[in-house]
Structure 1
Amino acid sequence: MSTEVNSSTKFDERSRRQKSCDKRWILSRLRAGPLSLRIPPPEEIKECIATPAPVSISVTVDQQYVDKISDDLQILWKVESNTEYFDKNKVQLTLKNTGLQILEGKNWELYFDTPMMVEPDFLPDTQANLGDQGVKIRHSKGTHYIISPTDKFIDLMPGTERKIQLHLSFWTISRTDSFPNWYLKFYGFDPRVINNTAVESLDYVSQLHTPKQWKRATTDKLNPFTAQERYRRYFNEYRTNNKDTKISIIPKPVFIRVILGGGDVTVDSAWLIEYTPNLLSEATYLKDEAGINLTNAQPTEKVIRLIVGGVVHPNTNENLENGEAYKLEVNAATKEIEITGKTKTGVFNGIQSFLSLYSMGGVISTLTIVDQPRFQYRGMHIDVGRNFHSKSSILKLLDAMAMVKLNKLHFHLSDDEGWRLEIPGLPELTELGSGPYTPNSGSGYYSVADYQEILRYASTRHIQVIPEFDMPGHARAAIKAMEKRYNNLVKSDRNADAEEYLLHDPTDKSKYWSVQFFDDNAVSPCINSTYKFLGHVIDELIKLHKDIQPLKMYHFGGDEVGKGAWVNSSKCQELSTGKRGLNMAAWEDGMMKAGKPFNISDPTSKDSYAYIWNNIWEWGGAAHAYNLANAGYKVIMCQATHLYFDHPYEPDPEERGYYWAPRFTDTKKTFSFMPDDVYQNIDFTRFGDPLDQKTFCKDEETCPTLTKPENIIGMQGHLWSETVRTPEELQYMIFPRILAIGERAWHKADWETIMDKTERDVQIDMDWARFSKSVGLRYLFRLERLGIKYRISPPGGTYVNFAILSNC
């Protein structure tokens, strides 16, 4: 089915004949050589128009032609307006022919990606014919769209361009809303990437200069920061007066005492590390990081001793029972340093605090630090399903996580776009599900050896790896891989084997669209082969983890299942899924229905972990965290308004990222998050309108009371990778925001208990001064040593009393 769309671009018969004449004229000049190509003189145009019939000229299409036209065709993408309509925006697409080949109106398709639905009045259900613009558009899957010519397409001649008016759903307010690597396909030939789109700099996307381009509506309060606004946001009168950066550690310890007059020690390569055999791994790590040798002797000076033992708080004489607690003592008089941990993990945490002090030249004051974390779960989530990220990038991330005492890597290993881990016995998952092995981020996976190296690296750093294979939604890559397996085995007359791991019900006629515009990404829960598949995957995961880091938690995803999936599956009538008893982890969507948690009162059930992300205040999700905790779930705070690092640092169209939750999240916003009282984080709507807790929390249903605070067990940062394709982009989006996650997950700040917002904001600014100065003086240097390219904020600036003041 096709639908005509009105277009402002009209071509009458005279203009058609003019184009035909131009084509004939240009071709005649091309035959004479490129130097003869010039604008036709008026008398030749007049004579040409008088010609009663156009001359038919054919273009020979071969692979060389395809290669050349793809090099010479330029794409220009320009956002025209986001404020003209309520639920869609206008984009101008320009096709510019800079070469000497003609792009005829037949036998080609132009493929491109954008996260917004193109021509939403018609797609995805039907194709849209863009009237006299001479093209039609259809939706493939997800973010993938195809433009092809109609019989009204006028050949694109050398030196000319064609403007096409598009409408996209909702908003297009960031340059990263257009994905690179558009490609051109001619029937019967290999497709080729359009050369000017093969750039991560997105030079083919015009800058957004006006409010109607960067605002989502006329009511949108948010604009790109000016230098003055940035200066005011980050101005801090306390920063220059902060004196404790010499001993400042991120995350901030529970107790620090510097002995006045106690002197300093300078730790250098002459020092030795004394350890017991059970601490060999921790001692070796310290040796590698600090360049200090190990010893089996018992030196009396210039020694760092690693000890597992009791940790006592100096002020209260309380024995700290937390297994991650540690004590770090530096004695300049005896030239001794002792790191005592409640367990080996506690010793490792103490080593991280020592390395922070050591990083500035090895000079450390006489002091005592006693410390333990607020949360047992302190994590970072990374999505390698949408775009694959290399083993090297993951290892660097683990190094940085250890530096700020994060202890959980939530590894999102599959999504609609890709399956990223080799599973023995199911080679199709990586043969098809991981992409065609081309050198781009859309393809790739971790081999068994790769994954086990990641596990060993994480274990050395006392980080638990939590694998996630997202189901039943977000599972297209797995579904298609198992469909390939099925088809191959059926061709070999092995029908029983073919159905063994099938993930979709061929009789299911359900119609649905997922949030990301897939209509075939939901695993069927109503066929036995689904559970056979899951059992096989989990069994293989157990084997991969065994003897390195025993698998303790499996995250099954459970989020964003397309409405209507499975409702017409005949298999559901034949098979009961049985009692719901998930002893695993899932996003909040997988643990509740219509805002109500599933019952987990079964005493034989293990802990169920709910990851709470959907707290968009005006959407009504603020209650989810406490409802699930009160129902007995162990809750991980993942609130998208503060903890999603795939969102921009600033409300600027030049900043990378999505903006469906907050318009922006900078490091200070993450630093200011209060996980113990989620309602105190209520601040603004997505459009920048102010909110406050008193007005927002109008009743118990909107903001239920937390009755089981012991079930709030941690928090984590998140990087979803739809717009993140390179190692540099990954590091830009994570760093330095991850440092704020480390701070808040480990340390509960005094200002978190202040109920008066004005006073609390003053105390936040004071604490931010300490934190941000420590980041600048100590931790950016340490990130550089890891080879991490972090983001530096553009400078703020203002003009006061004939002086220019700046900050960043």
Structure 2
Amino acid sequence: MRPHRSTLRLLGSLLLATALGASLTGATAPRPGATDTTSPLDRIIPAPSSVTPGGTPYRITDRTRIHVGESREARQVGEYLAGLLRPSTGYRLPVTARGTGGIRLRLAKGPYGEEGYRLDSGRDGITITAGRPAGLFHGVQTLRQLLPAAVEHDTVQSGPWTVPGGTVEDSPRYAWRGAMLDVSRHFFSVAEVKRYIDQLALYKLNKLHLHLSDDQGWRIAIDSWPRLATYGGSTEVGGGPGGHYTKDDYREIVRYAASRHLEVVPEIDLPGHTNAALASYAELNCDGVAPPLYTGTEVGFSSLCVPKEITYDFVEDVVREIAALTPGRYLHIGGDEAHSTSHEDYVRFMDRVQPVVAEYGKQVIGWHQLTGATPAEGALVQYWGLDGTDAAEKEQVAAAARNGTGLILSPADRVYLDMKYDASTPLGLNWAGYVDVRRSYDWDPAGYLPGAPDSAVRGVEAPLWSETLEDSGHIEYMAFPRLPGVAEVGWSAAGDRGWEGYRERLAAQAERWGVLGIGFHRAAGVPWPSA
């Protein structure tokens, strides 16, 4: 996550509003009467595996229907597509089991894998074929990007709604393409999380990692330890009101993410980053004294009491309740910056806790410091070091990878979305350096960590920590335009990527973001259209 550092001051709200007002020019909607053109087949993000342009374009009209066959899963994707298209086109776009022409969503056996698809477009219609529902959904995102940006409006627009002729064949390079949202330093509502989910889905990301606990706030209701949420969740960085998700809130986030084919990965950070829990229950402290709630930004000062047996009762209760709420395969147990825990206690703690996660049917994920203990069989570790991280630390992680531990790559000086773009950025931090849009894109996960086999790399994830972020506008300003680049790093083969082509495709996304109300950073080096 981040090294020990001095307490950071939050930016003053008036100064911040002034600075962002000058920067969020990317939210400008297209001019009235502006001509909107169809995107070429190869202008989408992430870059597809194969594009064969040619043939007559297809035009969506008031006679278009969406055909989904008898599959319930295909019908769900079809209803999602219709919901995207109806407001702006004004067309009925009925979703039917059978028919010819129009838009056809087809599940069939073939070389598509779990998330691949094929899109064929021509005069008579569009067919998206996939082996699994996730592939159909990703194909719909491609179709969405091929349509004019005006399709994102929630009121009727003039069109025309034309898709170029040809074929796109596509599948992801990595199975793990994630984004992490820190809801602990500042709390974000269910509606704000859903908005971010929709933005992730547009670029074919498939994991939402929620950082649910930290020193500044505990954000998920636990019935067996109710003060975790009601007291431990009652504040945030800077002393705001905080908040927490009820179990129904969390279920709704999980449901909504699943409808966009994202898997929610909950994180409870242990044994450090636990002041909110320690403040809520005195008995979790070695001295039996609860510390005060914390609203600063220091790290590394808190730890569960490893020798106490109640610590493991607490961990088991939390794991049991969160596992029961989470249909996904993974549970993230943190494990970073446990500076107040001795190495011996850290190893002892992880040896006790990892089997508990397995007992409740989940696969362990930890930050890469987990490799300082013994990762459980099948565990994944999330590497957040820098290009310049000490070689011995990198080798410790690489050795675990050679022994079968999978890697999620989140190098902080590449894909930490809370890092400032440059010295003038009004939000974010810079302990990992400045991370401009090219730096977040122009790297290759294969071979990134010396000594780690490429086969150990499961994919990439872009964390967004929230010390300085308070609302969706802040999230979007830091995530865009870097997030689509990280999505492409995870999806597209190395040979299909290149900065010069990407910067043109990225600039073409600006109009769509404007319609969607996404206030983005107009990063240098990208030929953005005039505001």
User: Structure 1 length as normaliser, TM-score?
Assistant: 0.55
TM superposition shift of 1:639? 0.7
Counterpart for residue 673 of structure 1 = 443
Of the three residues 493, 514, 530, the one matched with 2:311 is 530
**SS where residue 454 of structure 1 aligns?**
helix
Cα distance in 2 for partners of 1:267, 1:399 equals 23
Instruction: Report the CA distance between 1:380 and its aligned residue.
Output: 0.3
Change (3 A) 1:786 1:555: same
Aligned equivalents of 1:440, 1:788: Cα separation in 2: 27
In the TM superposition, residue 294 of structure 1 has moved relative to its aligned partner by 2.8
Q: How many corresponding residue pairs?
A: 479
- Report SS of the residue matched to 2:421: coil
Q: For residues 236 and 456 of structure 2, what CA distance do their matches in structure 1 show?
A: 43
Please tell me whether residue 770 in structure 1 is matched to residue 501 in structure 2.
Answer: yes
* C-alpha spacing 1:480/1:440, structure 2 compared with 1 (3 Å): closer
Deviations 1:375-412 (A, max 9, x none): 00000011111111222221111111111100000100
Distance 1:568 1:331 in 2: 64
After TM superposition, the structure 1 = structure 2 runs for residues 543-562 of structure 1, keeping only pairs within 5 Å, are 543-545=324-326, 550-562=327-339
Partner AA of 2:418 in structure 1: D
**1:300-347 Cα distance to aligned partner (Å, 9 max, x none):** 22x111111133xxxxxxx34x21111111121xx2211111111111
Residue 298 and residue 615 in structure 1: after superposition, are their counterparts in 2 closer, same or farther (change >3 A)? same
Preserved contact between residue 418 and residue 442 of structure 1 (Cα < 8 Å): no
Structure 1 residues 534 and 200 mapped into 2: Cα distance closer, same or farther (>3 Å)? Answer: farther
Structure with more relative contact order (C-alpha pairs < 8 Å, separation 6 or more): 2
Tell me how far 1:807 sits from its aligned partner: 9.5
- For residues 245 and 15 of structure 2, the distance between their equivalents in structure 1, rounded to whole angstroms, comes to 24
Question: CA offset at residue 784 of structure 1?
Answer: 3.3
Instruction: State the shift of 1:638 in Å.
Output: 0.7
Deviation at 1:725, TM superposition (A): 2.2
Instruction: Tell me which amino acid in the other structure corresponds to 1:324.
Output: E
Residue in structure 1 matching 2:64, options 249, 271, 277: 271
Distance 2:470 2:42 in 1: 37
Decide which of 58, 73, 95 is 1:295's aligned counterpart. 95
Checking the alignment, whether the CA contact within 8 Å between 1:610 and 1:634 is kept in structure 2 is yes
Pairing 1:330–2:121 present: yes
* CA distance, structure 2, for counterparts of residue 669 and residue 565 of structure 1: 36
| Contact 1:418–1:433, Cα closer than 8 Å, also in 2 | yes
Q: Does structure 2 conserve the Cα–Cα contact (< 8 Å) formed by 1:638 and 1:718?
A: yes
Counterparts in 2 of 1:613 and 1:272: CA distance versus 1, 3 Å: same
Counterpart residue number, 1:637 = 409
> What is the Cα deviation at residue 519 of structure 1?
7.5
Kindly indicate whether residue 160 of structure 2 is the aligned counterpart of residue 389 of structure 1. no
Q: Which residue of structure 2 aligns with residue 709 of structure 1?
A: 454
Structure 2 CA distance for partners of 1:577 and 1:507, relative to 1, 3 Å: farther
Distance 1:416 1:442, change over 3 A: farther
Shift of the alpha carbon at 1:441?
A: 4.9
Tell me the distance in 2 between the aligned counterparts of 1:576 and 1:788. 41
1:346 aligned residue = 135
Q: Distance in 1 between matches of 2:350 and 2:502?
A: 54
Per the alignment, residue 788 of structure 1 pairs with: 518
Q: Relative to structure 1, is the Cα distance of residues 453 and 327 closer, same or farther in structure 2, using a 3 angstrom cutoff? A: same
Task: Determine the structure 1 residue equivalent to 2:9.
Answer: 178
- Aligned 1:596-635 pairs, distance under 5 A: 598=374, 600=376, 605=377, 607-617=378-388, 619-620=390-391, 621-635=393-407
Match of 1:541 in 2: 322
Structure 1 CA distance, aligned partners of 2:513 and 2:396?
35
CA distance in 1, matches of 2:213, 2:350: 27
Separation in structure 1 between the aligned mates of residue 277 and residue 470 of structure 2, nearest angstrom:
21
Query: Which residue number corresponds to residue 648 of structure 1?
Result: 420
- Among 359, 365, 369, the residue aligned to 1:585: 365
Letter in 2 for 1:298: R
In structure 2, the CA distance between the partners of 1:263 and 1:556, relative to structure 1 (3 Å rule), is same
Name the structure 2 match of 1:358.
147
**Which structure 1 residue ranges, 5 or more long, are not aligned?**
1-114, 118-142, 144-176, 181-196, 205-242, 312-318, 484-501, 509-514, 680-702, 752-763, 798-805
Corresponding residue SS for 2:381: strand
8 A contact 1:396–1:788 mirrored in 2: no
Question: How many angstroms apart in 1 are the aligned matches of 2:530 and 2:517?
Answer: 25
Cα distance between partner residues in 1 of 2:323 and 2:350: 27
Closer/same/farther in 2, CA of residues 442 and 668 from structure 1, 3 Å limit: farther
Q: CA deviation at 1:203?
A: 8.3
Shift of 1:245: 4.6
Asked if structure 1 preserves the Cα contact closer than 8 Å seen for 2:177 and 2:205, the reply is yes
Shift of 1:794: 6.0
2 CA distance for matches of 1:417 and 1:781?
Answer: 37
**Following the alignment from structure 1 to structure 2, what is the Cα–Cα distance between the partners of residues 711 and 660?**
28
The secondary structure found in structure 2 opposite 1:381 is: strand
What is the one-letter code of the residue matched to 2:367?
W
Amino acid at match of 1:772: R
Does the CA contact (< 8 Å) of 1:612 and 1:624 recur in 2?
Answer: no
Q: Go from structure 1 to structure 2 and tell me whether the alpha carbon gap of 1:793 and 1:442 turns closer, same or farther (over 3 Å shift).
A: farther
How far has the Cα of 1:445 moved from its partner? 1.4
Equivalent residue, structure 2, for 1:16: none
Q: Determine the C-alpha separation between the residues in 2 that align with 1:784 and 1:775.
A: 13
List runs of 5+ in structure 2 lacking aligned partners: 20-37, 87-91, 150-159, 290-295, 358-362
Q: Which has the larger radius of gyration?
A: 1
Q: Which amino acid aligns with 1:647?
A: M
How far off is 1:729 after superposition? 1.6
Any residues of structure 2 matched to 1:217-256 within 5 Å, and which? 245=40, 247-256=42-51
The alpha-carbon deviation at position 714 of structure 1 amounts to: 0.6
Aligned partner letter, 2:313: K
Q: CA RMSD in A?
A: 3.3
Supply the distance in 2 between the matched residues of 1:589 and 1:564 (Cα, whole angstroms): 12
SS in 1 for 2:16: coil
Amino acid at match of 1:558: G
Cross-structure match for 1:721 = 466
Name 2:429's counterpart in structure 1. 658
| Structure 1 residue 354 displacement after superposition | 1.0
SS in 2 for 1:678: coil
Q: Quote the Cα distance in structure 2 between the aligned partners of 1:565 and 1:432.
A: 28
Mapped partners of 1:629, 1:577: distance in 2 = 18
Distance in 2 separating the partners of 1:724 and 1:392? 16
CA contact (8 A) 1:310 1:340 kept: no
Contact residue 117 and residue 135 of structure 2 kept, 8 A: yes
- Hey, what's the Cα distance between the residues in 1 that align with 2:526 and 2:403? 46
After TM superposition, give the deviation of residue 503 of structure 1 in Å: 2.2
Letter in 2 for 1:541: I
Deviations 1:754-794 (A, max 9, x none): xxxxxxxxxx7xx32322222222x2333334332211236
Tell me the distance in 2 between the aligned counterparts of 1:786 and 1:796.
Answer: 20
Seen in structure 2, the aligned counterparts of structure 1 residues 386 and 553 have a Cα distance that, compared at 3 Å, is same
Q: How many angstroms does 1:739 deviate by? A: 0.4
Matched to 1:776, the amino acid is: A
Secondary structure of the corresponding residue to residue 385 of structure 2: coil
Q: Please, what TM-score do these two structures have when normalized by structure 2?
A: 0.82
Tell me by how many angstroms 1:731 deviates: 1.3
CA-to-aligned-CA distance 1:668-688 (integer Å, 9 cap, x gap)? 111111101216xxxxxxxxx
CA distances 1:444-490 after superposition (whole Å, capped 9, x unpaired)? 1122222111111100000000000111000100111122xxxxxxx
